[in-house]
Amino acid sequence: EIVMTQSPATLSVSPGEEATLSCRASQSMSGNLAWYQQKPGQAPRLLIYGASTRATGVPARFSGSGSGTEFTLSISSLQSEDSAVYYCQQYNDWLAFGGGTKVEIK
């Protein structure tokens, strides 16, 4: 099973700035990686799949990249509604979520 490690645990960013979230896999994998956003009291929402493909309705300020063991979710021009916990999930070898990164707005 591939274990996913996310960093940082918490990220504080000013509105309009860019947030960069990291997700590291315990072994090299193909691009079978998804990103989800979870706001308090809500279910997770799919943002990105295939490491870089935005899901339907996801704003263009969200972008995913990476390969091998290093993957990144970038949120450009951060808005107040982007305050949430973000999880990566690998579906390359079974399934596993990362521990999450909490994005706070300064």
Partner 1 sequence: QVQLVQSGSELKKPGASVKLSCKASGYTFTDHAINWVRQAPGQGLEWMGWITTDTGSPTYAQDFTGRFVFSLDTSVSTAYLHITSLEAADTAVYYCARAVTGYWFFDLWGRGTLVSVSS
Contact 73, 48 (CB under 8 A): yes
* From candidates 21, 37, 89, 103, binder to partner 1 by CB under 8 A: 89
Task: Between 1 and 18, name the residue whose CB sits nearer to partner 1.
Answer: 1
Q: How far is the CB of 17 from partner 1 (least distance, A)?
A: 25
Q: Cis omega (within 30 of 0) on the bond before 44?
A: no
If 0-12 CB within 10 Å is exposed, 13-18 middle and 19+ buried, where does residue 81 land?
exposed
Number of residues that bind partner 1 (CB under 8 A): 23
Task: Between 17 and 102, name the residue whose CB sits nearer to partner 1.
Answer: 102
Q: How far is the CB of 16 from partner 1 (least distance, A)?
A: 28
Who contacts 106 (Cβ-Cβ below 8 Å, separation ≥6)? Answer: 12, 13, 14, 15
Residue with tokens 């870089």: 52
Would you tell me which residues interact with partner 1 (CB under 8 A)? Answer: 1, 32, 34, 36, 38, 42-46, 49, 55, 85, 87, 89, 91, 94-100
